[in-house]
Amino acid sequence: MIELTVNGEKRQTDVSPDMPLLWVLRDEFGITGPKYGCGIAQCGACTVHINGVAVRSCQARIGELGGAQVLTIEGLGAKSLHAVQKAWIDHQVPQCGYCQTGQIMQAAALLDKTPKPTDEDIDMAMSGNLCRCGTYVRIRAAIHAAAEKL
């Protein structure tokens, strides 16, 4: 049995240790904020935080996450919307929205480490999160706006 904490709640699962965290979150725990995009860490749609670090959950084997603290988009805004989520709404960032939970989790991780990022910081941190709708300009603007509020 593997035990971990997801969005502040203790969870247990007895799935195969090789199962990626993304599958566990979506299919076992019903937490569907993290999205399946590519399955090989090329798109960032599945990004969550593990022990405070942004991670592609499609690459994290559940068997290696015993005791881990996992945060998904559902947990990020559980009590009140995170500054990044508010900025996303203010700037109407999403178009189709599929990549946006990963974008927001990556942006929140960036602001944890770099509270006032430059355009270059944002480009470096966010380039692994793809958006087929091309919302990158609004993503960057929203991150700057969130940084002002934090």
72, burial (CB in 10 Å: exposed 0-12, middle 13-18, buried 19+): buried
Structure tokens at 67: 């005791």
> Rounded to the nearest 5°, which phi and psi values hold at 8?
85, 0
First to last CA, the chain: 39
Under the binding rule (CB under 8 A), the answer on residue 4 touching other proteins is no
Under the binding rule (CB under 8 A), the answer on residue 113 touching other proteins is yes
Q: Which stretch binds other proteins (CB under 8 A): 25-33, 79-87, 105-113, 138-146?
A: 105-113
Under the binding rule (CB under 8 A), the answer on residue 35 touching other proteins is no
Q: Smallest distance from the beta carbon of 95 to other proteins, in angstroms?
A: 21
Cβ(17)–Cβ(62) below 8 Å: yes
Nearer to other proteins, 83 or 109 (CB): 109
As a whole number of angstroms, the distance between CA 96 and CA 94 comes to 6
Cβ(78)–Cβ(117) below 8 Å: no
Q: What is the 8-class DSSP label of residue 64?
A: G
Q: Smallest distance from the beta carbon of 67 to other proteins, in angstroms?
A: 15
Q: Which of 8, 66, 123, 134 binds other proteins (CB under 8 A)?
A: 123
Under the binding rule (CB under 8 A), the answer on residue 97 touching other proteins is no
Nearer to other proteins, 56 or 91 (CB): 56
- Residues of this chain that interact with other proteins (CB under 8 A) are 18, 39-42, 47, 53-56, 59-61, 64, 106, 110, 113-114, 121, 123-125, 127-128
